[in-house]
Every structure is written in structure tokens, then in C-alpha cells.
Structure 1
Amino acid sequence: MAPVFLHKPSILLEWSKGDLDINLLKCIVAFGMFMKDSRPDGRVTARAMMQEVQDDTLRKIGRQTLAHLRVLVMLLRFRFQAGQFPDAWSLLALAARSAFTMRLNYEHSNPDPLVQESNRRLVWAIYQLDRLYSGGMEDLAVIPVERMHIRLPCDERSFEMGMGSKAGFLDETSMDPSANVDAHSFKLRLLAIRDRILRYTKSVRRKGDSPAGSRSAMEALQAELNTFERTLPAELKLTSQRLVFMGHSREAGPYVGLHTLWMMCHCDLYRFCVPGIRESVSKDALALTPPNFIEYCQHACFSTAIRLCGLWSDLYHLESSEYFGDELLAVSIYQVAQILHHLPHLIPEDGEDSVLSLKKRLIEALQLAVPLGRVYTSAMNCLKDSERLIDALGRASVTQSSPDSSVSAAIETAEREHLASKHSVLPHLYRDQNIVDRGTGHPEAKGQRSNMLPPNNGRITSSNTNATLPVSQSDHERREYQEMEPGFSDMFLFDPFNMQLNGYYDPELDFSFM
């Protein structure tokens, strides 16, 4: 999660005096209900309360005040965690424009360090979600990395105590040893590197050239990742001892999220030579690529995926009571499972990296990530897909029938521009609009699936069915195709909201034996 921008003592003081903005108060209450109230009615109430706030806020859309921006960012974060991505997407642009209009992306002299830091964190919260949503697509970014001229967020203790920040800036390659920062600041810096990696790999994929022709750019990005890891302070480095210490601390989530993201950046950088996944270059481009280059990229991607499996397994066996990871943990498990599924020739038949061993570690990773379903509504769908892929490791698969020609044409157009995603946003938008038009309300009100129960005997089950996952993906895809309206071939299909995808979907992957 992003570092908090609301200062708890200050908020409580405003509330006790009756000065707290009513919409901000509603946001805080709704967030608490959504995160802590396990009853379906509680989440329905939270959504309804947030909808009231959103309606009132958008009626005052012309306001450019800090109070208005704080409410916008709370709404944005709620929509993201509730899986209401279309709303979050639109709110993100509004929040970014408002923050830049008030020039909050620049340092301002303010005698109160608490106000300074709160404003910085407000902008960084927008920046973090923009990096996740845009996915390296420059056309979709609303917060340019090069326009962030404020200090990175300081550590939580300094913020709580109202201390002045000594944090560095985003474009600095090293950090002052005296800087009062924690894992959040380093993650924001790493997200900027990841953004450059995704821009590079998607550019290679879009051009259709051999990736070997841009090897120097690939090596420069790898050097950035190496420098980042080398300059981490000792307390944030990944060692067996630090893993135990951090794994039982309040910093467990940010610490694990940082190192998971760093390793996933390696997978993102080299995956364009993994055939069968969305970000792979075309067969023609691979045919023009020297075999030793393909082998190098595949081994780099595979070895990092193995390291991630080991990290998650070690965390699972810590038996800590802390939450591990962040919004990217479930996504990363899915992506690692995809990589391993598409590189079966690199998996040894026996030993600690055999199929059986990898399955065991990945199942442990699934168990580790299940609690995140309470925080991120879409996480359980991602984990369902991951479970299917884990079950399929080491098995043969067959391809499913192709969608109709109009959909295929639209997907091909999207691949050239934005790299189409697994779940197109447009059918979701049509479905959401139809629900509103019919006045049926939110899925929770109808008893539809919104929460997932913890694993049952190693399986993840739905809270409103007795069926054990996974569900047939081919049936799901067929329903998505049927929901598309006529004339769709004129539109491009992409989904920057669905974090499961991130370019790893294989549209022909099907498991008839499951």
C-alpha cells in the first residue's frame, strides 16, 4: 500500500473540535467498514457511503483545495481496493490534475514539516497508483516521473512525530545514510525503474523487431536494478537474518513487497523471449533472434521466478502474524506460475527445483497471499487463476478454439498499441452500466461473490458456493466474448486496470483435463 498521508493525531484533533471535513470523515468510516467488517452488508454500506461522497465531490469538481484533493485520493484508493477500476481510473486523472494545478509536485517552503510531509505523501499516493495503472504505456500515464520534484516520503515514525524530512528525491541514484526513509521510499523509486522497463519491453514487442537489436538498452536497465539493490541500506537488504527480523515486524508488508517487486522487474525485463505469453515478441522476431540471446533471457527470467518461489516459501514457514506483500503479491504469484508453465524445458525432473517442489512452494505462496483478499477485492480472482496454472505445471495442455474474427481483429489492433489484456475493460464497463441502468445495485446486494474464504485443505473456495476452485477459464472467456456488443472491431481492447494480466495472458492456454 502507499504510505499514509493522513496524520492520525491531527485528524483526531480536528474531529474532536468538529472541524474535520464531513466527506473526509465519511471516507475514513467507510474504509474502516470495508476493511474490518466481514459481513456482506458492511461492505455494501461502505460502498454506498463512498458513492455519496463521490457524488458530492464531483458536484464540486472545480474546487482546487487540499481538503478536496484528500477526499479525491481517499475515493481513488477505495475504488482501487474495492476492485472498482473504471471509477478509480477516472478519479486518478482528476486527482493528478488537481495536485499539479496546486503545484504540489514541487517543494514549497512551509514552517510546518508535518504539512509539508502530508502534502508530499498525498502526491506520492497518486503517483504510485498511476505507475500501477499505466503499466509502462506513456499514453495512459497522468503523473510523468520527470515532473516529480518533491522529496520521497520519510519513514512512518518521523511522520507520526512531525519531524522534518531528510529524504532524497526520486531521480537520485543513492540515498544519504542520514535520510529518515523506509521501504516505501525505495519502492517508489523502484516503480520508476519498472516503468522504464515496461516502456522498453512493450516498445520492442510493438515494433516487431528482434530484441537482440536493443541489447544495450536491456543491459542498461539491468544495471539500474543492480545499482538499486546495491545501494539499499543494510536493514532493507534481503538476507536470511533480515527476513526473520523483518518478517515479524510491522514493516513486513513493505519489506516483502519491495523485494518481490525488485525480482519481478527482472522477469518483466527478460520475458519477451518466453514464448506463449502476451509480452513475448512474435514468432518471426524470435526466429531472427540468436539462440544464445533467447537462452540467456529465458534463464534470467526462470532463475528469478525460482528465487521468488523460495522467498515466498521462506515467508510462509516463518508463521508470522503480519500481512506480507502488497497489491502486487497476488499478481506476482500468477506471473511466476505463467513463466514456469511456459518454460517447462528448464525445470529439472528431480531435485529442489522439480515440478513437485515448485508446486509445493507456489501453493504455500497462495496460502500466504489469501489474507490480502480482505484488502484487495480483485486479489482472489488472481489467486484462482494462479491455482489453475500451478495445477497445470508439468501437464500437457491443448489450445481452445479462437474467438470470432471481429474480436480477434480488435485484439490484434490493441496489441500493436497498448498490448491487450486478459479481461477487456469494455465488457466490464458495459456490464457495470447495465447494472446501474437496471437499478440492481452492487453485486454484494444480490448475494454474488464478493469475499473469498481462506483455503480449505489447500484449496481456495468461494464464500457463496461449495465449489472448489479453479473454474474453467475457457467458459469465462466465452462469456466475456458473448458480452461484447456488435461493432466492437472498431475499438481496441485493453485493460490497464486488471493487475493480474500485466502482459502475461496466453489467449490459447486451456486445460481440458481439469
Structure 2
Amino acid sequence: MQSTEQCHASQPACFSPRQSLTEDTNEVQNSALKWLNARHLPTPWKIGLLVEEYFNNIHPLRCFAFIHRPSFLQKLDKEISKSSHNNALLHIICALGGQFYALAYSETISPLPSKSVLSAGSEWAKVAQRLILETLDMVTNENLMASVLLHDYAVRMGNFANAFMLSGLITRMAQALQINLEYNTDLLCQNNEYGPSTTAKESRRRLMWSCYVMDSLVGSGVDQLTLVHENDMKIQLPCNERNFTQQIPCFTETLQPGNWLKFIPGEFDTATLLPNMGIMAYFIRHISIRKRVLRYIKHLDDAMVPWDPSSEFAILDKDCRAWYESLPASLQFTPSAIYIRKDSSQLGALCVLHCAHYQTICDLYRLGAPALYKLRAAFDFPPEHQVFLHHLQQVLFDAARTLATIIGEAARHGTRMLADSWLPTITYDSCRIMVYHLTQILDPSLEDTKSIIMETLPLLQSNIHALGVMGNLNGIANTLCSAAETMLDRSGIGSEVIAPNSIPDDPYQSIEGEDPSSESVPGTPIQSAPDYVLNPLSIFRMARKSIPERHAPEKANTSSAPNSARPCSSADANLSPIDRIDYVQTATAAQNEHESSQASLEELQTLFMSDLGWAWQPADTAVGSGIATAGLLPWAGGYPTTQAEPWLPVFPFPQQS
């Protein structure tokens, strides 16, 4: 395969990230970028450029390194002209690579709008999805790889309904292939006459672990949404990149630390297992801990009090710390590790590894900020445990600040280091926690408060900057950037006066303009749904927002027909009750269809934050959260009922005399 420089020399119209800035930008844009939006894949040498961008930027992230790069490139050079038109995997690889190709152009030749970068290769992604759906009865590892990458692409583009549906397809394909089991017991491939090669076996493992991670992040600790379970993962963890690339067979541990597959020879030195594991293996182990943390947070009504040394909280906290302490020096977020990982295109993966840890710490320690998060049956901390409560709040604040530091350091090395589709949500949550602590937890009368605020303000600004640059590679990042800017501006942080509490006196009153009949029925709801225990930015919640026929069963008054509380217009006032219901349902469906078709990424701020007051959750969870005092509303940041834009947090300044 030709290098980028060779391609540029032989094809003047081919854009290279290292082209001279003196070229005519209009001519370059017309000749070199137009093909990124074509329906058909480009010529082989341009495909080579896109594949290179994919392997340098997407492949190292999270658990996407399931393709053996040398084997793929070798096959690409031999067969690219034969079957590229019906290869779903190649199409989605080119779609993802096209975004980074456009980003390189934007950074070195002429700035492009973030929409232009995001839309590069979109037609190829559509082809990839069509090819996958047309061949559902042909379940192959390659089609599963394409589906996993297509799922991440859908999240990147803000198409959460598509991503959610693909997640179900992916888990079923993995189950059909049974890649949750080792192909055979010959892990070292000592008898190559039977079964696939060393590379194929490792690729199968990595693909299954990628499905596990995807399912875990989509499920978010909700049993109903989780399809892949740890007990069914009877394969060893991925090996390090060196062994995978160089096709060196080896043993590694399984998901549980200190364990390995039973059919590993007894005479084998198990002390060599840990060195065989790389960044992907440690990330997978953390995800398994994160699943338990999120499930715990959603079942606090059955949990022990967190200050008990034998509580679930104490066990999970210990496991989080143990995982972090198990990281080898090469995976710690140190200056030397940063530059080593950057040299191998793994700095983005290292950033996500550590961000995932501190994000999980935030999720676990949210017990100390029940007004910031929507918690079912939040604990009441008696006076004798106020010290423990303050400890929770301080750790939560410190974790948010650490997240901002890690993200800021990664951003300093380039936009590509922030390419993971999970990072915008993590960054925004870091902002919310810091603003909450500075405005609601700290005592403004203390001397240290101002210095803490001044130390934290640059971190908030750094997060906002990072969200801004993420907008080139993630559709929702720009919306979250705008929301974070508004939150910081209205908080008064950095000014002489920090805004006081902004929550309404009655946290249960409905949002202005919301139909009162849609409020939760008092008492325990007969039915409930995962929507009301999930982060509004979770894939499931975002997917539900785009479904016109969605309903909220725990809010429905079972004694009346659907939509019966809707005021009748002059057009339906004389209809019979049955006809009126049909009329209302038809009109509502038409309106929902229209609103759904009009939705765009710029409007997501309204979609995922317009119904986040206490009124939208089941009444028992609101009361059970134990919020008797003022504080920020969960996720949205708090708002008065007279506010025109309730999804934006408001921190009103005191009236001046």
C-alpha cells in the first residue's frame, strides 16, 4: 500500500494531512473533499488513506482493536478491487476514517464546520448498514465487526435510536457465533491443523469483549437492558498489542483477577499472565466493576447504609481502588506514559481508561449529592455521620477535578486524543459536579472558598474548551458545550458573588407548560420503565426521545383513557368519546412525527433536558430520595417554574439594595 506522501506525489488531487498550506484551499476542497461524500467507495489508493486514518485513531480506542492490522492491510491490497462494493466492514471503516481525514484537512489546510467533518463518509456508513441488514441470515465475524463499528458511528452522529437497536442485533450475532467460548482448548495453537490461527482466535476474543463492553455501557446497570452477562464470558482477556500484532500466542487471565481458564496446563507459570495483558484487558475489568456500581446505585432501597464497613458501597469502593492500584506503570497517567502511548497512537485509549475510572468514582460517590443526581431511596445521613457525608462530597469533587485535568492534558496533544464517543458525556458531568460543589457545598464565608473557586475555574474553562473541540468528532458535544457555558455563566463563579441556591421551594411542583395530568400518580406506580433510573444522556434515554409512540406507563392514570385529560379543541368538542380518543391519538401521532422529523442535534439540549425536574420521575422515587432541603435538581441543575428555558440551569444573583 502506498504511503500518504507517495499517493500525493502520484495523484495531485489527493489530499494529505501534510500538504503545503500554500495550496489554493478552494481548489483542494472541491477536488479532494468532495469524494468523501460520494455514495461509492473511492479508488484503492484513497481507500488506503482512509483505512490508515481508521487504524491510527479508532482502532486503539476502548475495545475496537479486534482487527489484525497487518492481515487486514494484506488482504486489502489483494482483494480491494474485487469485493469492496459489498463489504460492510470496509465501508464503515472508510466512513470513520473519512471523519479524521476531513479533520486533518480542517486543521492543516482550511477550517471546516464541525458538521462538515462529521458528515464525511456518511454515505458509506449508510451502505454498511444496508449491507448488514440485507444479510442478517449470514452471521459472520466480519459482519459483527462492522455492526460494532456502526454502533459507535451512530452514537457519534447522535443517532441514538439506531445505536440502541444495533446493540440488540450485535448481542444476538455474538450469541449466534458463540464467540463467548474459546474455539478450542489449544490456546497456544500448537496444532494448527485444527481450528483457526492464533490471530483469528485472538480476534474472536477481542470482538466478544467489545460486544460485552458495548452491552455494559448501553445497559448502564439496568438488568432489563443488559443482554451479555459475565458468567457467560468463558474466554480469556485480550493479550497486549505487541503479541497480537506479531501473532504470538499466549495465556492471559480471565475477567476475575487472579483467575485463568481451567484447561491451561498446570505446569504453566501463571506469573507470566499479567505481562501478557494490555490496555484493553484492564479497561474490560474496569467495565465489569462499573456495571456493579451502576446497578448498586439503582437499587439503594435494598442496600446497607454506606458507612457500614461491610456495605455494598465499601466493597465497590475497595474494588475500584484495587483496580486502579493494579495498573502497571505503563498504564498510569504519567508524563512518560503519556508520550509513550502517544507514540503508539494509544493516548486516546489511555485517556479513556482513566476517565472511565474517575467517572465510576463519581457515580459511586454520588450518594453524597442526592440533589445533583436522581437517586432512588437516597440515604439520610444522621448527625453522627456528617463527617462521612462530607467525605463523599469531597471525593466526588476531587474526582470531577481530576477528570478535567486528564481531559485537558489529552486535549493539549490534539483533538484526536478526545475521539472516544463517551468523552463528551464524561466531560459535561465533570462540569456539573464542580459547579454544584462550588455553589452548593462550599461555605462562602470561609477563607479557603475563594481560593478553591479560583483553582477550579480554569478546570471548568478547560472542560468547555475540550467539549468545543470534540464537536468535530461527536454530534452531541457542541450542545453539551453550550449547556456547560450557560451553566458556568449563570453560576457567578469567577465573579465577586457566587449565586446561592436556585431550586424552587417545592421540588415536586410541575414544570411550567407541562400538562399537570402527566405528573406521576401519587404513591408507588403500578408500572415503571428504565427511563426513570437512567442518566438522561444514556443511549437508551436518548433513543426513547426519538420514538413517537413512546409512553410513560408509571405516569398513566389507569382509570382514564390515554390522552383523556387533553383539552378538547373546537374541532373535536362534538365528537363521541371513542371518536375523540381516535382523533386525539391521530393528531398526537402526527404532531410527534412532525416533531421527530424536525429534531436536530442543536435541539438535543431541549430533548434530553426539558423534562428533568422532579415531576417527571415516579412519585415514590422523588419522595424516597429524601431531598427536604434546597439544592440543584438532578442533571438539569435546577430551575424556577417561571423560567422560559427550563433545561438551562439558573443561579440567580441576590437582589442588590
Of the three residues 617, 638, 643, the one matched with 1:508 is 638
Q: Does 1:32 align with 2:97?
A: yes
Residues 367, 378 of structure 2: 8 Å contact kept: no
Tell me the residue number matched to 1:188: 284
Q: Please state how far the C-alpha of 1:227 moved relative to its aligned partner.
A: 1.6
Judged with a 3 Å threshold, the aligned counterparts in structure 2 of structure 1 residues 388 and 197 are, in CA distance, closer, same or farther, namely same
Residues 3, 153 of structure 1: 8 Å contact kept: no
Counterpart residue identity of residue 275, structure 1: P
Tell me the residue number matched to 1:294: 389
Of the three residues 168, 173, 176, the one matched with 1:93 is 168
Tell me the residue number matched to 1:387: 485
Of the three residues 202, 208, 212, the one matched with 1:127 is 212
Tell me the residue number matched to 1:326: 420
In 1, distance between residues paired with 2:227 and 2:453?
42
Deviations 1:185-243 (A, max 9, x none): 21111011111111112111x55985446862111111112221222112112345544
Q: Please state how far the C-alpha of 1:283 moved relative to its aligned partner.
A: 6.8
Residues 131, 141 of structure 1: 8 Å contact kept: yes
Tell me the residue number matched to 1:75: 150
Deviations 1:25-61 (A, max 9, x none): 3222322334433575675573344334323432332
Residues 240, 276 of structure 2: 8 Å contact kept: yes
Larger Rg over CA atoms? 2
Judged with a 3 Å threshold, the aligned counterparts in structure 2 of structure 1 residues 184 and 289 are, in CA distance, closer, same or farther, namely farther
Which ranges in structure 1 are unaligned for 5 or more consecutive residues? 451-470, 493-502
Q: Does 1:422 align with 2:483?
A: no
In 1, distance between residues paired with 2:318 and 2:608?
41
Q: Does 1:336 align with 2:430?
A: yes
Counterpart residue identity of residue 339, structure 1: I
Counterpart residue identity of residue 500, structure 2: A
Counterpart residue identity of residue 511, structure 1: V
Tell me the residue number matched to 1:154: 239
Of the three residues 259, 264, 285, the one matched with 2:359 is 264
Counterpart residue identity of residue 284, structure 2: L
Q: Does 1:217 align with 2:347?
A: no
In 2, distance between residues paired with 1:198 and 1:325?
24
Deviates more, 1:185-194 or 1:166-175: 166-175
Residues 333, 362 of structure 1: 8 Å contact kept: no
* Secondary structure of 1:374 counterpart: coil
Identity of aligned pairs, percent?
20
Residues 422, 505 of structure 1: 8 Å contact kept: yes
Counterpart residue identity of residue 228, structure 2: I
Judged with a 3 Å threshold, the aligned counterparts in structure 2 of structure 1 residues 343 and 275 are, in CA distance, closer, same or farther, namely farther
Deviations 1:107-164 (A, max 9, x none): 1134411111221222222222212111111111121122212222223333333332
Residues 330, 369 of structure 1: 8 Å contact kept: yes
Q: Does 1:398 align with 2:502?
A: yes
Deviations 1:343-398 (A, max 9, x none): 33347654896212201122123324543333322233233333333332442353
Residues 65, 206 of structure 2: 8 Å contact kept: yes
Counterpart residue identity of residue 69, structure 1: L
Deviations 1:447-478 (A, max 9, x none): x667xxxxxxxxxxxxxxxxxxxx99789855
Q: Please state how far the C-alpha of 1:506 moved relative to its aligned partner.
A: 4.0
Deviates more, 1:135-144 or 1:295-304: 295-304
* Alignment: residue pair count: 472
In 1, distance between residues paired with 2:388 and 2:124?
54
Deviates more, 1:55-64 or 1:88-97: 55-64
Deviations 1:76-109 (A, max 9, x none): 2221222211111111111111111221011113
Tell me the residue number matched to 1:278: 373
TM-score (norm 1): 0.77
Tell me the residue number matched to 2:469: 371
* Secondary structure of 1:67 counterpart: helix
Tell me the residue number matched to 1:107: 182
In 2, distance between residues paired with 1:232 and 1:434?
54
Q: Please state how far the C-alpha of 1:166 moved relative to its aligned partner.
A: 3.6
Of the three residues 287, 293, 306, the one matched with 1:197 is 293
In 2, distance between residues paired with 1:319 and 1:53?
32
Deviations 1:249-295 (A, max 9, x none): 52211112212222222221111121312244557745699323322
Q: Please state how far the C-alpha of 1:328 moved relative to its aligned partner.
A: 3.3
Q: Cα RMSD between the aligned structures?
A: 4.1
In 1, distance between residues paired with 2:545 and 2:245?
44
* Secondary structure of 1:200 counterpart: helix
Which ranges in structure 2 are unaligned for 5 or more consecutive residues? 1-60, 103-111, 185-194, 260-270, 551-588, 622-632, 640-648
Judged with a 3 Å threshold, the aligned counterparts in structure 2 of structure 1 residues 91 and 408 are, in CA distance, closer, same or farther, namely same
In 2, distance between residues paired with 1:298 and 1:74?
37
